[in-house]
Structure 1
Amino acid sequence: MNRSYSFDHGGGGGGGLTSSSSSLSLSSMTGPSSSSSTSFGNGYQPLCFSKEVFTSESFKVDSFIADCRKRVPLESVQKDLKEYTRHLDAELVELINKEYHSFFSLSSSLAGIDVGLNEFNDTLSSIKSEISNFKGDINKVRECVEDKLKEKKKIDHSKKLLQLYISVSDSISNINGLFEQLAMVTQNDQQQQQQPSNMALFSPPSSLHSTLSVELVIDRISNSFFQIQRQIESLAPEESSLKLFKTLQLKVVELSNKIELNIDPIFQEALKTSVKSGNLSSVEILSNCLKTYQVLKKIHIPYKIVRKSIIKPYLISTITIKNLENGLKGSCEGLSSIYSNIISYLQKNCSELFMVSNSINTYYYHQNQSQQQQEQQTNALSYNFISESILPEVDEQIAFFRQIFATGIPDLFFRTYNQTNQFISALEDMCPSPTHVIQLRNSPSYQSIFKKWNFAVYFQLCFSNIASSFETQLSQHPLNDFISTIHLNPIEKNDYYIPQSFSLCQNLDQCWSKNIFIYELSSKFFKMFLQMIARYEYNIQDLITPLLNTLKKEGEEEKKDNTNTSTTTNTTITTTPSATTTTRPAKQVPIQESLVYLYSDLLKLSSKISVHYKSVVLNTIRNPSKEIEDIVSNGIKDATQSIQKLLSSLDTIITSHFKIKCSESLLFINTLSSQYRLTNKPFPTSPSQYVSMILNPLETFLNNKAMMIPSHIRVEWVKTILAPVSEQFLANANETLSSVTKLNETLRRMKGKKTDSAPAAAESNVEKLSLQFYLDVVKYGQLISKLGVDIQQIQSYTNLLNLVEPFKIYLQQPAL
């Protein structure tokens, strides 16, 4: 809707605003209207929406229309929107009419303001131009000052470098003067030593302090050179590249070499004096010389001097073929004494040198506080004469005597290696810190001295000796033959019944014997340890596999025999069970029963390997890491699991054998019906003889051969064996009772043809047979309880007992 508004200047000289398009005026808006009679009193209130919805930030036309459409028709919404629009127009007109005079006064007050703004802009432009000019002048002055400051800084830097050059040059000159003083002091000291002892008492007082002067001069040289180094190191890379300082650095290098030439003879002489007498003055000179070498960063020089002048002469005189053989030609009997003499010499004659070097190392350690600096200092500037002077010379000297390494002679190899290893351990104990021990073990001479021993050949020889001994034992005593005849031979009271088991433990002990085991071959010995266990298990598996196959075939044949025997027994067997058993020939003891001795050995081995040998392996390897412990534990766990599988197979063989043995006596159940058929026997009062025969083989086995088996295993055997036996007992009893019942029914059908006494007699025979079954089952349960088993744990026996429980009532029957 288009709207236009105009000011009305008529009507009493007052102005007003009118709306031409909507024909609205202030007077007309305040009049009555038929379309919104209640809209303009206290303000317009729409019927279907709130006016606040239009001022909301989240207002959307689509959402507004959809929301109103839910409540009222669109026509009502349109109507309310039109009314609300008219109301807004009226409010706008009323507002403008109300503030009419204010609008006109505002427009009149703005007249001429553009002139003032133009003047202000001119003034502002003028000030801005002046500020810009002033800023340019300031920048020029600042650039000039900065150039002067840079020039001054460059001059100061050049002056500083020049002063540094002068200072270093003066220090070099000072050190050259100290060289002259050192030469004079050294010359006086030599003259004093050449004088007779009585003349030395009357020498000038200054000569009495010649040694002390040597110490002080060396200390001053060391400190002066240290300051030179610090000054040179303070130079930046671009400063060091200057020709002036390149020349100066060459002078410093030349000075370092000159210091070395002057200090070397003094250090060598003081070292010899210290080793011979150990006086305090020589120790102090040693300390200052070592500090000087450390400042020069030439600690390899004292290493060479100590090795050449002290260690090598002694080792040449000590490590000789005479001392090595010790009176026994071609042997190494004296090697242990040689190593002991070397350690004793180092501890006694070189103790001052070690003490001085350790104190210097401690000093430099505290001078560098951060961990990184300490590590760098230890590697670069700390003294370690054991790894750099002593061990290299030992390695060089023993290399001339090949008999020490004894390749091809395991006993001699182990003895000489063990002695050398103990000697190296003694050297490690002399190291002042773990860092020096690590440095010793990482040194080339340490690696070289151990490479001289051929560990591969030694292990191959040990493996051949141990493995061949074990294989010989396995071949001399075949397991199958030994198990088959073990019942004919007296059992020795030993930890193991089978010779192969005892031989296995002996050879496993040799793997970790203190006279055979070498730490460097730990993995190979552990592998051989597991291989021998696996070989032993394979030997047993060769015995068990045929037995398992044979047992399956015999089980199938036994079932067929039981079926045929049961049919023939019903017609042919009329004697008592005791009479029948006496006619059977004696059988040879089955090999299955003798396997209990092997079973006992496997139980002991499984426990010993998992506990004893695990501890032996870990203790022999010496403080193994977590990773090595896991490897050992997993290997031993696999070995014991393999043994457990063998035990499980033996369980099957032994229990299956006795299932068949115990089930043989159940065939006599079929003879019970014939005992009471067409007879006038009284009601039974005791169980049948075959009941004790059922458990007799198992009871004899448990009380004799299986006595060494733990009780809980024997109980499990009894449960496993008697569960199927009880099931067979139940099946045979059911079959017998069923056949007797059928016979009884036949007799009843013959009632019309014969007298009534026949059916009555048949009924009596059934009751007698039922009572006999009850007595047999009760006795059977008592025998099971004597074996230490709770009969409630054998479900098949419970079923059997439930079958005969109703026959208990026949116990009160009178005797016929």
Structure 2
Amino acid sequence: MADPISAPHRSATEFFSDPLDAHPLWFKPASFLYPDFDSESYISELRTFVPFDTLRSELHNYLSSLNHELIDLINRDYADFVNLSTKLVDVDSAVVRMRAPLVELREKIEQFRGSVDASLVSIKNGLRQRSEAASTRETLELLLDTFHVVSKVEKLIKELPSVPTDWSNGDTNLTERNSLSNGISSQDVENGMTIRETQSMLLERIASEMNRLKFYIAHAKNLPFIENMEKRIQSASLILDASLGHCFVDGLQHRDANAIYNCLRGYAAIDNTRNAEEIFRTTMVAPSVQKFIPHGSSAVAAGSSVDELEDDYQKTKQFIDEDCKFLLEISSAENSGLHVFDFLANSILKEVLSAIQKGKPGAFSPGRPTAFLKNYKSSLDFLAYLEGYCPSRSAVAKFRSQAVYAEFMKQWNIGVYFSLRFQEIAGTLASVLTAYSLDTQIGCPLDWMLARMSSRWVMQGSGTGCEWALSAVPDDFILIIHDIKYIGMEVCGEYMQYVLQLLSSCSADVLDSVKQSILQGGQSLNNLIPRVNDAVIESLVEKSVEDLRQLKGITATYRMTNKPLPVRHSPYVSAVLRPLKAFLDGERATAYLTSETRQVLLLGSATGITNCYNELAAELVSLARKTESSLQRIRQGAQRRAGASSDVSDHNMSDTDKICMQLFLDIQEYARNLSALGVDAATIPSYRSLWQCVAPPERQNSISF
């Protein structure tokens, strides 16, 4: 009996883990079946986020699974696979039969492709010819339009009067002349339109055509047709400029608002605003300003020699209100399209600046500070008056951005004026800065303080004035500290309020900048106080160290002597803090030092003196120990040679111990003296080091005195 078919064996891993053919989410076997699959791109893309070893392992696993699948397929259809070769009969003949129609099909396809390529070339050539024809037609139309515009402009120009006098009587009614052939109707005649207004309308129309002509020329550059017409275009442009200028001048003289408006529109159309601004300056502004601010022969005849500008500006303002206001209102009218003009800057301000430069150049000179300041303020007031004619903020910004405005402001050399005025006001103060004598003047703390600070700076270097620095005493610096605080308080107090009151008419930003500058100056003075304190402390420490050096005599007192163990402090200790106490109890310190400053100087000096005390004591003890060690080795050598015991003096106190004991008594007295001044010696790091250096072993951990 056959064995029953047993189920395939499966391990626990196969039951409780992923199937053998499971793959990570990033590995997609279906990608290999895509027609456009590229192995290099596939691997490069996966390597950006999959390690190479992991990718290689997964590919090997997939290859292994494919091999198993292939083997399974072969085993499943093995009989068909074996019989495959027996079924392939007369394969070569079949291939020949199939190849013939395929070759024929390929030839037909190649013939069709050649026909298509030829048609495509023909179509492209046709499209190119069509594009060229369209471009040529466009150019031809542009040339025709240019010719028509030139002819039209010439025709319109012929309608203009040949000489300016033809419209000098511009108020004559059109009924006295024939109607113009440019489109002026009899209705206009009936309305009583003036010849000047008619001419201005004609000029505006010509300018509009010239603007269109300029556009055509810009798009048809370097064409022979345009080059041949260049003389005609230039001639028309010159006639237009001259006629437009004459009409504009005539309109200004007769205050014909309509004519002026049309002329300005004509200038704007041909983008020639500078010409209109210059005409207004030379014909209207210059003659009047010449009367107010004469120069050349006119100045000599008028006898003008005063460089003050206030009266001149007042007359100029009156002239602007009476003779320029009408034009400024026309050019700034809303929706007029005439905002491209800036008669304020390029006509009025330009002429005023030129007249001042020629007639009163001394007005810009800061050599006379009072007159300069008066003229400068008057000029700012005049600029503010001009800005009053600006209809908007953007117009003000445009006015200030003009080159003539910047040129006008450059004439006022504020830096030189400030230097001269500063020298005038602070000349005495500047001379004091160069003095290094010690003439203390309590009644004049400002000048004395600056002189002392100058000497203080020199003290830290070398050069002239160091003689005072070397001879100065701490009491001198008390006055310096007092003066620094006094002037700082004055600068940041009443002086600042006085300056801000003088500048009360300025903007908030200006006031804030001035205030911050003054406060910064006062703070810079206050920043000098620590440096002066350091100078006082340094001087007091130097005086105290002179008495501290007496502790070197302790070595001579106990070295190689039989003196007993010391029981009281040395005499020098009482003198160490005497300079500091005398300084703090002095008349100047009592009168001028605040409690805060006294505490800073006291603690700083005590710390500095203690640091020196620690250094000298540590050096003394170190030297004593080295000397005693050397002497001990010499004694032991002599005793060994004599056959004596080497521990004769082991139980006696050494000279170094006596020296340390004396120093210990001294620093206790020193700490008591510090305590009397208000300083706890235990809080000074160098005193704790000093205690550790000389205190007996049983007293090392507790500081008491």
Instruction: Please give the range of the TM-score, normalised by the shorter of the 2 chains.
Output: 0.5 to 0.7
Residues 463 and 110 (structure 1 numbering): CA distance in 2 closer, same or farther, change over 3 Å? same
User: Is the Cα contact below 8 Å between 1:592 and 1:657 reproduced in 2?
Assistant: no
User: Is the Cα contact below 8 Å between 1:226 and 1:295 reproduced in 2?
Assistant: yes
User: Is the Cα contact below 8 Å between 2:353 and 2:408 reproduced in 1?
Assistant: yes
Cα distance in 1 for partners of 2:376, 2:272 equals 35
Write the mapping of 1:16-95 to structure 2, written as runs, cut at 5 A.
none
Partner of 1:223: 208
User: Is the Cα contact below 8 Å between 1:498 and 1:598 reproduced in 2?
Assistant: no
User: Is the Cα contact below 8 Å between 1:497 and 1:601 reproduced in 2?
Assistant: yes
In the TM superposition, what whole-angstrom CA distance separates every residue of 1:48-79 from its partner, at most 9, and x where no partner exists? xxxxxx9999xxxxxxxxxxxxxxxxxxxxxx
Selected match of 2:360 from 375, 396, 401:
401
Partner of 2:535: 649
The alignment status of 1:259 with 2:240, answered yes or no, reads yes
Selected match of 1:349 from 305, 323, 334:
323
Residues 595 and 142 (structure 1 numbering): CA distance in 2 closer, same or farther, change over 3 Å? closer
Partner of 1:599: 481
User: Is the Cα contact below 8 Å between 2:399 and 2:405 reproduced in 1?
Assistant: yes
Query: For structure 2, which runs of at least 5 residues remain unmatched after alignment?
Result: 1-5, 12-19, 24-66, 174-187, 548-577, 612-670, 689-705
Selected match of 2:228 from 219, 230, 247:
247
User: Is the Cα contact below 8 Å between 1:268 and 1:309 reproduced in 2?
Assistant: yes
Cα distance in 2 for partners of 1:166, 1:429 equals 49
TM-score, structure 2 as length reference: 0.57
Q: CA deviation at 1:637?
A: 6.2
Cα distance in 2 for partners of 1:319, 1:286 equals 28
Q: CA deviation at 1:318?
A: 1.0
Partner of 1:12: none
Root-mean-square deviation (Å): 6.1
The alignment status of 1:102 with 2:80, answered yes or no, reads yes
Structure 2: which amino acid aligns with 1:386? L
Q: CA deviation at 1:296?
A: 1.4
User: Is the Cα contact below 8 Å between 2:540 and 2:580 reproduced in 1?
Assistant: no
In the TM superposition, what whole-angstrom CA distance separates every residue of 1:759-813 from its partner, at most 9, and x where no partner exists? xxxxxxxxxxxxxxxxxx99998x97xxxx7x879969x99xxxxxxxxxxxxxx
The alignment status of 1:412 with 2:296, answered yes or no, reads no
Three-state SS of the structure 1 residue aligned to 2:359 is coil
Cα distance in 2 for partners of 1:309, 1:155 equals 54
Selected match of 1:297 from 271, 284, 301:
271
In the TM superposition, what whole-angstrom CA distance separates every residue of 1:499-523 from its partner, at most 9, and x where no partner exists? 535xx6xxxxxxxxxxxxxxxxxxx
Cα distance in 2 for partners of 1:208, 1:227 equals 27
Partner of 1:271: 252
Q: CA deviation at 1:473?
A: 5.6
In the TM superposition, what whole-angstrom CA distance separates every residue of 1:636-666 from its partner, at most 9, and x where no partner exists? 76665345412442466589999999xxxxx
Cα distance in 2 for partners of 1:723, 1:125 equals 111
User: Is the Cα contact below 8 Å between 1:218 and 1:289 reproduced in 2?
Assistant: yes
Three-state SS of the structure 2 residue aligned to 1:207 is coil
Q: CA deviation at 1:142?
A: 3.8
Write the mapping of 1:440-451 to structure 2, written as runs, cut at 5 A.
445-446=404-405, 449=408
Query: For structure 1, which runs of at least 5 residues remain unmatched after alignment?
Result: 1-40, 47-53, 58-87, 196-202, 275-281, 366-381, 487-491, 505-531, 552-590, 662-692, 728-776, 800-816
Bigger-Rg structure (1/2): 1
Identify the range of structure 1 (301-310 vs 171-180) with the bigger mean alpha-carbon deviation.
Answer: 171-180
Cα distance in 1 for partners of 2:232, 2:608 equals 104
Three-state SS of the structure 2 residue aligned to 1:193 is coil
Residues 438 and 629 (structure 1 numbering): CA distance in 2 closer, same or farther, change over 3 Å? farther
Residues 650 and 224 (structure 1 numbering): CA distance in 2 closer, same or farther, change over 3 Å? same
Identify the range of structure 1 (355-364 vs 245-254) with the bigger mean alpha-carbon deviation.
Answer: 355-364
Structure 1: which amino acid aligns with 2:246? P
Structure 1: which amino acid aligns with 2:227? K
Q: CA deviation at 1:192?
A: 6.6
Q: CA deviation at 1:135?
A: 3.0
Q: CA deviation at 1:187?
A: 9.0
User: Is the Cα contact below 8 Å between 2:170 and 2:194 reproduced in 1?
Assistant: no
Identify the range of structure 1 (393-402 vs 213-222) with the bigger mean alpha-carbon deviation.
Answer: 213-222
Residues 151 and 722 (structure 1 numbering): CA distance in 2 closer, same or farther, change over 3 Å? closer
User: Is the Cα contact below 8 Å between 2:484 and 2:525 reproduced in 1?
Assistant: no
Partner of 2:428: 469
Cα distance in 1 for partners of 2:326, 2:487 equals 57
Partner of 1:387: 345
Q: CA deviation at 1:306?
A: 0.9
- Identity over the aligned pairs, expressed in percent? 16
Cα distance in 1 for partners of 2:415, 2:422 equals 10
User: Is the Cα contact below 8 Å between 1:222 and 1:295 reproduced in 2?
Assistant: yes
Partner of 2:596: 712
Write the mapping of 1:369-380 to structure 2, written as runs, cut at 5 A.
none
Structure 2: which amino acid aligns with 1:713? T
The alignment status of 1:339 with 2:313, answered yes or no, reads yes
Residues 193 and 160 (structure 1 numbering): CA distance in 2 closer, same or farther, change over 3 Å? same
Structure 1: which amino acid aligns with 2:352? V
In the TM superposition, what whole-angstrom CA distance separates every residue of 1:566-613 from its partner, at most 9, and x where no partner exists? xxxxxxxxxxxxxxxxxxxxxxxxx75575444211123345567888
Partner of 2:448: 500
Partner of 1:285: 259
Residues 701 and 716 (structure 1 numbering): CA distance in 2 closer, same or farther, change over 3 Å? same
User: Is the Cα contact below 8 Å between 1:171 and 1:224 reproduced in 2?
Assistant: yes
Cα distance in 2 for partners of 1:188, 1:348 equals 29
Three-state SS of the structure 2 residue aligned to 1:480 is coil
Residues 421 and 500 (structure 1 numbering): CA distance in 2 closer, same or farther, change over 3 Å? farther
Cα distance in 2 for partners of 1:609, 1:364 equals 53
TM-score, structure 1 as length reference: 0.50
Cα distance in 1 for partners of 2:534, 2:581 equals 24
Cα distance in 2 for partners of 1:780, 1:793 equals 7
Cα distance in 1 for partners of 2:82, 2:542 equals 125
Structure 1: which amino acid aligns with 2:375? T
User: Is the Cα contact below 8 Å between 1:480 and 1:543 reproduced in 2?
Assistant: no
Q: CA deviation at 1:424?
A: 4.3
Three-state SS of the structure 1 residue aligned to 2:307 is coil
Q: CA deviation at 1:122?
A: 1.0
Partner of 2:573: none
Partner of 1:319: 293
Q: CA deviation at 1:315?
A: 0.8
Cα distance in 1 for partners of 2:114, 2:304 equals 104
Partner of 2:639: none
Aligned residues, how many? 524
Structure 2: which amino acid aligns with 1:300? R
Cα distance in 2 for partners of 1:127, 1:357 equals 82
Structure 1: which amino acid aligns with 2:276? P
Residues 306 and 190 (structure 1 numbering): CA distance in 2 closer, same or farther, change over 3 Å? closer
Residues 455 and 534 (structure 1 numbering): CA distance in 2 closer, same or farther, change over 3 Å? farther
User: Is the Cα contact below 8 Å between 1:658 and 1:721 reproduced in 2?
Assistant: no
Q: CA deviation at 1:270?
A: 1.5
Q: CA deviation at 1:319?
A: 0.9
Residues 43 and 214 (structure 1 numbering): CA distance in 2 closer, same or farther, change over 3 Å? same
Partner of 2:176: none
Residues 412 and 328 (structure 1 numbering): CA distance in 2 closer, same or farther, change over 3 Å? farther
Partner of 2:125: 147
Residues 362 and 651 (structure 1 numbering): CA distance in 2 closer, same or farther, change over 3 Å? farther
Cα distance in 2 for partners of 1:297, 1:94 equals 89
Cα distance in 2 for partners of 1:93, 1:410 equals 111
Cα distance in 2 for partners of 1:152, 1:351 equals 59
